[in-house]
Structure 1
């Protein structure tokens, strides 16, 4: 079958569309989908089997997700189901390739309607080739997802080791302990205020041209231009604060959601002047990164943050938080283990990047028929 034999069709002929409904209030283990993926979990469902979820409104208008289990589609999304002799997974890749966000109406509040979707056209190979194309792209997505799960496990291992060493003190149980204001701690360790072990940084960008970072709730510093769909920083960044490699930064108004990030890039960046930037002893950078993710630290931040609606925590108050501070030799042992995990995670991220690039290169070529998949080779 040549590409010329692919038939042109409206989406309405190959997909059935349904509006989502207001999410249930009772929690459960069934995923609730909105325009940006899974929102929460509930105890009922409004679709099952292969389903496509399309963001309907707002910033996530046009996002596309595939689900093959029971789920609830909220009123912020549109549900699409494949018709007879149409591969749902193939249509998922078609919609991903279509860039639906460009099809919306409205400027202040983007909106994607069933009418717009139904009127879009695409070209369709025969059913067997649809499945073959979908299987090729799915194999790459499966490898990417497996690598993401491995990286998640590595992150969980790092957190578990930190908790074992510096919260539960398990490797030191046979040694001497002494009383402190934070309870029993290994002998030789100290209780200190963060102000004793951190230094606030106020260096301004001035006339330099450097990238802008943002702290996000995952506890990372990310490149703003890559993370956000639109520019969130000022054109004039001369008053922004410089963040050198392994410096920390947080937005005082968002610290209560865990957004303290460390600059793990190999270059210097900057953050908005509303941010707080600080530096620790370089030997303690990984210790401090993991410390900020502990439940006790998060609880202390929430206790000290002021404001009833939008909590804030300036550096003066941040400096008063007390922590258990181990001596350097112990931290260096932890660094050796932690950096090994970082190296493993970095190699996996490189593999994810390569696989993603292959998939993104193949996607338009497979969708257009420029590259053909031998149908007989796909099970």
Structure 2
């Protein structure tokens, strides 16, 4: 067991370090929604006029201090800024900046460790549903940590796992972009391959004006509405929040932007997927493809599936995802989408599209579940590395 030193948390990190920002200045802003649960990586930023909020630089750690974001694991490492750039974000972030002798990556992993999180959650004050960490109390807690040299070794092991997860996420984003590009090329520009393998419209394929759609479409195609081709999956059993785990055998899908809100081992609530299903959120514009067995999370999460032979589920996913969902009534509820106009292609074209994209989404699924395994390995190793049960040579 490696030697550990007891230190107060405020000896390890500066809390909300001071930065000079002129009020009204336009800067990168990181809202709470750009922190995923149990994810090191910040998903992006917006440009905003600074009025108030947390301020930070690269190598700082952002910890959500409000319930339920803290309990759900919203903690991230800042690495998306330019050199010496200062950004700002939610007032509900605690910004941690490592002090001398503390490795910045190690500080991130310390912040997501069970010991630190238990300390932070125990410091929460306020009314139910709006509790926040009392930072003054959190600073006073003692915590055990290794020497800086060992900190770097621990951080490098955990960081290697997170970087592989990030790589898989980038690959999956590219895979989805490939399927989307093919959809646009075939079903928006109508340059699907003709009998000679040439792009249909660009090669002079016959186009016919459709009065309903008010545009030309390929001969043999027709107009339709969403209600014709789409059904809800019946009998989906909701998994209660208390039964949603941080890890488990089956993902729990949800309409939130994180898409997967947790896991369950409860077989009774699992939907077995032979082809693919689609998640549609009543209260968001989220549309996601599910090509794995899963359980359903929050109310308002609609599970959709094709009921039309010429629109297989992988094509249906692209169709729904390419609708302007903001146009369809209060909270984009599914019932407002039923009359949305769509183009129905020839069945041989849609089947060919399906044949091409299924391997793409199978690779996506492989990466998705590999990330689950990598996350579980990281979470298994993290506390043992932090408390010295496991050492890195």
TM-score of the aligned structures, taking structure 2 as reference length: 0.74
TM-superposed deviation, 1:357: 2.1
What is the CA–CA distance in structure 1 between the aligned matches of 2:321 and 2:334, rounded to whole Å?
19
Name structure 1 gaps, 5 residues minimum.
228-236, 375-379
Q: Residue 206 of structure 2 corresponds to which residue in structure 1? A: 176
Q: Residue 233 of structure 1 corresponds to which residue in structure 2? A: none
What is the CA–CA distance in structure 1 between the aligned matches of 2:188 and 2:22, rounded to whole Å?
39
Kept in 2, the 8 Å contact 1:284–1:331? The answer is yes
Name structure 2 gaps, 5 residues minimum.
36-41, 192-198, 241-251
Question: Greater helix percent: which structure?
Answer: 1
What is the CA–CA distance in structure 2 between the aligned matches of 1:49 and 1:219, rounded to whole Å?
23
* Residue 286 (structure 2) pairs with residue 259 (structure 1): yes
TM-superposed deviation, 1:102: 2.5
Q: Residue 365 of structure 2 corresponds to which residue in structure 1? A: 346
Among candidates 10, 30, 40, match of residue 46 of structure 2: 40
What is the CA–CA distance in structure 2 between the aligned matches of 1:210 and 1:169, rounded to whole Å?
40
TM-superposed deviation, 1:276: 8.3
Among candidates 381, 384, 389, match of residue 365 of structure 1: 384
Alignment of 1:43-62 (within 5 A): 46-61=55-70
Q: Residue 327 of structure 1 corresponds to which residue in structure 2? A: 346
* Residue 363 (structure 2) pairs with residue 355 (structure 1): no
TM-superposed deviation, 1:342: 0.8
What is the CA–CA distance in structure 2 between the aligned matches of 1:137 and 1:73, rounded to whole Å?
26
Aligned length: 340
TM-superposed deviation, 1:325: 0.7
What is the CA–CA distance in structure 1 between the aligned matches of 2:220 and 2:93, rounded to whole Å?
57
Deviation sequence 1:265-324 (CA, Å, 0-9, x none): 447869858968664225521111111111xx21xx44342xxxx445463x53322111
Kept in 2, the 8 Å contact 1:243–1:268? The answer is no
Deviation sequence 1:77-128 (CA, Å, 0-9, x none): 1211111111121121111002255222233311112213202221121111
Q: Residue 91 of structure 2 corresponds to which residue in structure 1? A: 75
Q: Residue 377 of structure 1 corresponds to which residue in structure 2? A: none
What is the CA–CA distance in structure 1 between the aligned matches of 2:345 and 2:305, rounded to whole Å?
20
* Residue 219 (structure 2) pairs with residue 187 (structure 1): yes
Q: Residue 230 of structure 1 corresponds to which residue in structure 2? A: none
User: Relative to structure 1, is the Cα distance of residues 346 and 125 closer, same or farther in structure 2, using a 3 angstrom cutoff?
Assistant: same
Q: Residue 303 of structure 1 corresponds to which residue in structure 2? A: 327
Q: Say which SS state the counterpart of residue 99 (structure 1) adopts.
A: helix
User: Relative to structure 1, is the Cα distance of residues 313 and 134 closer, same or farther in structure 2, using a 3 angstrom cutoff?
Assistant: closer
RMSD of aligned residue pairs (Cα, Å): 3.5
**Farther off after superposition, 67-76 or 343-352:** 67-76
What is the CA–CA distance in structure 1 between the aligned matches of 2:55 and 2:180, rounded to whole Å?
37
**Farther off after superposition, 282-291 or 19-28:** 19-28
Among candidates 89, 93, 97, match of residue 105 of structure 2: 89
Among candidates 103, 106, 117, match of residue 99 of structure 1: 117
Kept in 2, the 8 Å contact 1:51–1:81? The answer is yes
Q: Say which SS state the counterpart of residue 357 (structure 1) adopts.
A: helix
TM-score of the aligned structures, taking structure 1 as reference length: 0.76
What is the CA–CA distance in structure 1 between the aligned matches of 2:132 and 2:176, rounded to whole Å?
37
What is the CA–CA distance in structure 1 between the aligned matches of 2:106 and 2:238, rounded to whole Å?
41
What is the CA–CA distance in structure 1 between the aligned matches of 2:334 and 2:59, rounded to whole Å?
49
Deviation sequence 1:322-377 (CA, Å, 0-9, x none): 11110110011100111010111122223222222221121111101111111xxx
What is the CA–CA distance in structure 2 between the aligned matches of 1:190 and 1:128, rounded to whole Å?
67
User: Relative to structure 1, is the Cα distance of residues 219 and 259 closer, same or farther in structure 2, using a 3 angstrom cutoff?
Assistant: farther
